[in-house]
A and B are shown apart, each in its own frame.
Chain A
Amino acid sequence: MATTTATIAISSSDLMSGQIVSLSKSNTLKQAASKTGVESTTGLAMKTLESASKVDLITYANDDISGNAAKLYVKNTGSSTDQYVQVLVNSEEFARLYGGDFMFIPYTGGSGEDIEVQPSTSAKVTLEYIAFY
């Protein structure tokens, strides 16, 4: 059984008056309803976009991501504060990644519930992504 660990830490010394923000969590990625760790991954991949058109990042029917407990990491590797990339499921936006932003989400998928991405401009932008399942 493989052991894959995700860790997040959020900190701020001045967001709240008189209260330091220091939030952290670590989790071993497991299969659905199980103590067994995830055993598959898409591997780390990159996709470069050069138009403002919507394209699939994860096509559920083709990418064989299953198991109901998949996790997806996506990062906008750019640095732009003007351009962003919309992340959509079934054409509905649920995330927006400016340069340097990343997301780490559970992904259930299903027929038509592909993960799509659409840059706000046609400027070149590269996404880094990996899924675990």
Chain B
Amino acid sequence: MATTTVTFSLRSSDLIPSQVLSMTTSKRLYKAGSALDGVNQMDMGRVEVPTDDYGGGAAKAYDLIDATALAVNKSNYIYIANLTTTESNYVVVSCKDHVIGRLYAGDFMWLPCNFDAATNDIDVQAFVGTATLEYAVFHEGKTLTETDA
């Protein structure tokens, strides 16, 4: 059983007048419904997301995290960071055609996701310029879905 821990903090000394913001939380990553059995698999990578579908047309959304391969109703802890440095460039992150939000240059997100349906992939769509994303998924079971042609 692997032990994987995420720690997250938010800090600001001047966003709220008279109140320093200082929050920290930590969580060990478990399989769904368990407090003993940690997630035991991970995928990690770096990808480029084009804005113009390689010159072939309008910007498209691409599957970054495939729900089918990672299995429905299992733990999937998703980390995505936009490594782009141009502040006007952004990536729209969506799930099942619903926009979650925009990751501008330097932004990151953390999403515990159990995929309630195999079609609920996490999609990304770059705007303004090609985006470089770094991502990692900590999960409990990946099933290969494509056979050798």
Contacts and interface: CB of A to CB of B under 8 A. Distances in A.
Given A21-B42, A100-B27, A105-B111, A8 B79 contact: yes
Interface of A: 2-16, 21, 23, 25, 27-28, 30, 32-35, 37-39, 41, 43-44, 68-73, 75, 81-82, 84, 86, 89-90, 92-98, 100-108, 110, 113, 130, 132
Contacts of B11: 4-5, 7
B54 interface: no
B8 to A, nearest CB: 5
Given A15-B2, A94-B98, A108-B101, A102 B110 contact: yes
B145 interface: no
Contacts of B27: 100-102
Decide if the interface of chain B is mainly helix, strand, loop or mixed.
Answer: strand
A132 B102 CA distance: 13
Interface of B: 2-16, 21, 23, 25, 27, 30, 32-35, 38-42, 44, 79, 81, 87-88, 90, 92-93, 95-96, 98-104, 106-114, 116, 120, 136, 138
21 contacts: A2-B15, A5-B9, A10-B6, A10-B136, A12-B2, A30-B87, A37-B15, A69-B102, A71-B107, A84-B114, A89-B100, A92-B95, A94-B96, A94-B111, A96-B112, A102-B27, A103-B111, A103-B112, A105-B111, A110-B99, A113-B99
B100 A92 contact: no
B15 A10 contact: no
Nearest to A69: B104
Given A35-B87, A94-B96, 7 more contacts: A2-B14, A10-B5, A15-B38, A30-B106, A43-B16, A44-B23, A81-B33
